[in-house]
Structure 1
């Protein structure tokens, strides 16, 4: 294990990224445990308030992201880079745990919309994990020294894979586009398959093709029916079940 860590993480300079990812995941897990305990009325934890204002944990998260980000840029290497990477990871975990709150500009932590925070955290951790494992954005992986010298080939590779990801995004397949930026085959599959109903691609190219619209709608229905329930169960297990009756900030956690 030590040899693998030295060869694949330390020598390539990926240790700060590993520390940031570990801090990010650990912070999210601890934060969710604490908020679920507060929600259940257990433990010594409670909401943080200052002058009657409820302080969401996204606030210290933003501070830590700023400190960790600028600190990492300034230090670049050595012990300092590792310390600032941890600070950045902790801050990112706190911020993305309340991603839905930022998106909706409302306290939706325990509502249906709050699931978006869990999904963003999972996707972020997965993407960073892929980069940590050696996958480069837009498919420039396992490139030899000779191939690197051929800048034209690298540029074409990046451009084509970027185009595939962009096509997948235009077809309403956000997750596929994100992971396709790291794994080109995923983007290729998303680019060639039918678009989801309501996506920019469907509105532009399926408008006068009723059969294509019907087929796309049927495929989206079958996909959602198959995966929505399992995905929500996983989200509930990670972040807690949303409360549709929740109406406001007081005592939300």
Structure 2
């Protein structure tokens, strides 16, 4: 374990990325717990409203991202300072993306159905950062043997092909399947070969003169949403809290 840790995390300089990811996930989880307690009127936490203005936590999040980002650029990827900067940046990103829906809709939609987009973007971000962190790219690793170099290159080729399939799935409007497919083999392939969603870029370009394909895509999308939307909403509400009616 120690050898793996040094070869794949410390030596390539990925320790700050790991710290940033951990700070990002923990900050999001803590923030959601606090906001749910505030909403329920429990615990010592209250909204910050100086002068009657509700200060959303995206504000300190932006400040932490600015400090952590510029400190990282100034200090490089080594040393204690880079680790502290990574934690600040990760925590700030967690605060900002927890209110992503408010920025997107330019309104206080935190406890509405639109607010669940924040949960989605947090999951997507954590998945992509974990992919970068867990990849076995040979960059930054010294003295690779022939077998290790071959194994790593095979992983890179497989991941590259999987990523290409994920891009196709994304163009077909299957965002969640594309994200999961980046991490889990064959999911992206499944999304890439199936019909595109009717409003996706792929459908607008490739189904423009194929009315039967458009009709099949619309029917399949409707059936898929009827089958899975309820389960997806329950999972999002479990993580982020149920919206207000």
Question: Which residue does 2:221 correspond to in 1?
Answer: 220
Q: Which moved more, 1:229-238 or 1:1-10?
A: 1-10
Question: Which residue does 2:23 correspond to in 1?
Answer: 23
Deviation per residue, 1:1-25 (Å, 9 max, x gap): 5444333322222111110011001
Q: Distance in 1 between matches of 2:185 and 2:239?
A: 29
Deviation per residue, 1:61-83 (Å, 9 max, x gap): 01111111111111111111100
Q: Distance in 2 between matches of 1:91 and 1:47?
A: 18
The offset of 1:95, in angstroms, is 0.2
Deviation per residue, 1:66-109 (Å, 9 max, x gap): 11111111111111110000000000000000000000000000
Question: Which residue does 1:250 correspond to in 2?
Answer: none
Question: Which residue does 1:111 correspond to in 2?
Answer: 112
- The question of whether the paired residues in 2 share the 8 Å contact of 1:169 and 1:177 is answered with yes
- The question of whether the paired residues in 1 share the 8 Å contact of 2:177 and 2:187 is answered with yes
- The question of whether the paired residues in 2 share the 8 Å contact of 1:135 and 1:182 is answered with no
Question: Which residue does 2:205 correspond to in 1?
Answer: 204
Q: Which moved more, 1:203-212 or 1:43-52?
A: 203-212
Question: Which residue does 1:85 correspond to in 2?
Answer: 86
Deviation per residue, 1:88-147 (Å, 9 max, x gap): 0000000000000000000000000000001111111111112111166xxxxx9948x9
Question: Which residue does 1:124 correspond to in 2?
Answer: 125
Question: Which residue does 2:12 correspond to in 1?
Answer: 12
Q: Distance in 1 between matches of 2:149 and 2:210?
A: 45
**TM-score calculated relative to the size of structure 1:** 0.80
Q: Which ranges in structure 1 are unaligned for 5 or more consecutive residues? A: 137-141, 149-153, 245-253
SS for the counterpart of 1:243 is coil
SS for the counterpart of 2:135 is coil
The offset of 1:231, in angstroms, is 1.6
Q: Distance in 2 between matches of 1:179 and 1:12?
A: 25
Q: Distance in 2 between matches of 1:5 and 1:238?
A: 30
Q: Distance in 2 between matches of 1:112 and 1:52?
A: 26
* Structure 1 position 192 matched with structure 2 position 188: no
RMSD of equivalent CA atoms: 2.8
SS for the counterpart of 2:12 is coil
Question: Which residue does 2:63 correspond to in 1?
Answer: 63
The offset of 1:185, in angstroms, is 5.5
> Structure 1 residues 192, 143: CA separation in 2 closer, same or farther (over 3 Å shift)?
farther
Q: Which ranges in structure 2 are unaligned for 5 or more consecutive residues? A: 138-146
Deviation per residue, 1:132-179 (Å, 9 max, x gap): 11166xxxxx9948x98xxxxx9xx96x87765544333212234445
